Amino acid sequence: MVDQILAHRLERGDIVLALGGGVVGDLAGFAAAIVRRGMGFVQMPTSLLAQVDSSVGGKTGINSRHGKNLIGAFYQPGLVLADTDVLDTLSTREFRAGYAEVAKYGLIDDPGFFSWLEAHWRGVFQGGRDRVHAIATSCRAKAAVVARDETETGDRALLNLGHTFGHALEAATGYDGSRLVHGEAVAIGMCQAFRFSAKLGLCAPVEAVRMANHLKVVGLPTELHEIPGGVGDVDRLMTAIGQDKKVSRGRLTFILARDIGESFIARDVDAATVREFLAEELVRD
């Protein structure tokens, strides 16, 4: 893509327009960030996941064979245009995957929004006022966090709820979207984050069950055994987790939860405890 931009002699003042889902936005945004040390950039997200998550906040990232989103830059778009009507063109699976990121905002710090989703999720899927409300609420939630911590040195890490486990699952499946798409990985990852929190005595088990039940109701996967072809063994998952961008000086960082709507950054998490938890997860029915 960079070669094409240069071959067509686009200038620094020209605009790279990302019309598509999260992958398109990340790729185009990263190209805009590095060509001529920064070109104009506009996001026009066409998937639910991109509208509520990847197009907001200025993160761009592409995958490496070593892990998810390990190559990228912080680069804010000059404009984000989200047309909710285009979401009617998505497959049910893709829309459902994006819904995982919507639910995430309730799980992080807005229990009222999560309760609203439990009551109105069908309206979000059907379209209309409920869908617009869910998208607007999600965008406001993310924008508020990004405004406090644009380059992820603090609170912005909360937006990674479910992503430490989820990114490891994506890596374990070789980023094969026929087996697991990002939103599905995040759904399972969030369930694992809550179950891990319950195992550590941080969160009541009933809350882990409640949030998983909601994701199940909308049709999202919540367990490792639901991933076609499996994800390998504990060593494979731990290797992927070790490449997580939140790792600091070799120490693991997770976003865990004390309750629905009360997530927090847990630093220096014991790797042996994570390994034990994953071994239990691999044999869950």
Instruction: Note if 167 is an active site residue.
Output: yes
Across 181-278, the runs of DSSP E, i.e. the strands, are 252-259, 262-269
Instruction: Note if 37 is an active site residue.
Output: yes
Annotated catalytic residue within 68, 96, 104, 142? 142
Annotated catalytic residue within 182, 195, 245, 246? 182
Instruction: Note if 225 is an active site residue.
Output: no
What is the rounded (10 degree) CA torsion for 192, 138, 216, 171?
Answer: -50
Could you give the C-alpha distances from 84 to 48, 125, 128, 167, 259, in angstroms and in order? 8, 12, 9, 27, 31
Question: Long-range contacts of range 34-38, CB-CB < 8 Å, 24 or more positions apart?
Answer: 34/2, 34/73, 35/2, 35/5, 35/6, 35/10, 36/11, 36/12, 37/12, 38/12, 38/75
Instruction: Note if 63 is an active site residue.
Output: no
Instruction: Note if 59 is an active site residue.
Output: yes
Annotated catalytic residue within 101, 170, 184, 207? 101
Instruction: Note if 207 is an active site residue.
Output: no
Classified as helix, coil or strand, 148 is helix
Instruction: Note if 156 is an active site residue.
Output: yes
Annotated catalytic residue within 68, 104, 156, 195? 156
Annotated catalytic residue within 163, 179, 195, 246? 163
The residues pairing with 67 across neighbouring beta strands, listed in sequence order, are 64
Instruction: Note if 101 is an active site residue.
Output: yes
Annotated catalytic residue within 167, 195, 214, 246? 167
What type of residue is 268? Answer: D
Question: Residues with catalytic annotation?
Answer: 37, 59, 101, 142, 152, 156, 160, 163, 167, 182
